[in-house]
Amino acid sequence: MSLTAAMIVAFAAASVGASQAPPSGAALLAAPAAFALEPPTPPARSQEFGAEGSTWLTVGAGWAPDFAAENDFNLHLAWSKFLVKDVEFALEGAGWYADQSEHDAFGGSASMIFRCHFVNTGDWTVYADLGIGAIASSDDVPEGGSSFNLHPRAGAGLTRRLDDAGTRLQVGVRWHHVSNARIFGDGDNPARDRAMFYADLVLPLR
């Protein structure tokens, strides 16, 4: 074997031995330090309530008393989207029970609502809303009226964030109006006007 070949063999053996040597103490100390310096993964944040483009699902119940013999109750479900920051558009479906003096009635309604959250602190919002809808019922509501009515609304309320997932409590009061707008003549339009109180849970969709 020539001198040059011997030197190449010796260099290769030394390189293999170095690659198989155990890590030094400094390397062992550096490894956990590298892991410790990695920042923790932040928890997933819920979408901001009132953010443009965010969508929400609302479920709740309402009560419109006359504090005498007649009461209107509803259960409602709504999908909503913020068209711009703090301005919400909602489509709502509701089931109704009208407790009346003589003939109780069941019904269903569909409504659209515009809601402006003019105060939004993140945890709390305060809003005003306007809407219009239609109700079909199993009997005349009010009695002496018709089984198909229009259902405008206007009111105010507030929301409160309940958890980090974005679930909110919503409570409010609104004008509860039921009339057929004289579709069936002036003599068959006994309108109903009273306050409706409602409470909802609002859930983020995306």
In this prediction, residue 88 carries a pLDDT of 99
Domain span including residue 62: 55-204
113/141 same-domain check: yes
**Stated pTM of the model:** 0.76
The predicted structure's pLDDT at residue 18: 46
Q: What is the pLDDT of residue 2?
A: 53
Whether residue 143 contacts residue 101, with contact meaning beta carbons closer than 8 Å, is answered with: yes
Q: How far apart are CA 201 and CA 206, in angstroms?
A: 16
Supply the pLDDT for residue 34: 46
Contact residues for 101 (Cβ-Cβ < 8 A; gap 6+): 69, 70, 143
Low-confidence ranges of the chain (pLDDT < 70): 1-45, 185-187
> In the prediction, which pLDDT does 160 show?
98
Do 18 and 73 lie in one domain? The reply is no
70 and 8 within one domain: no
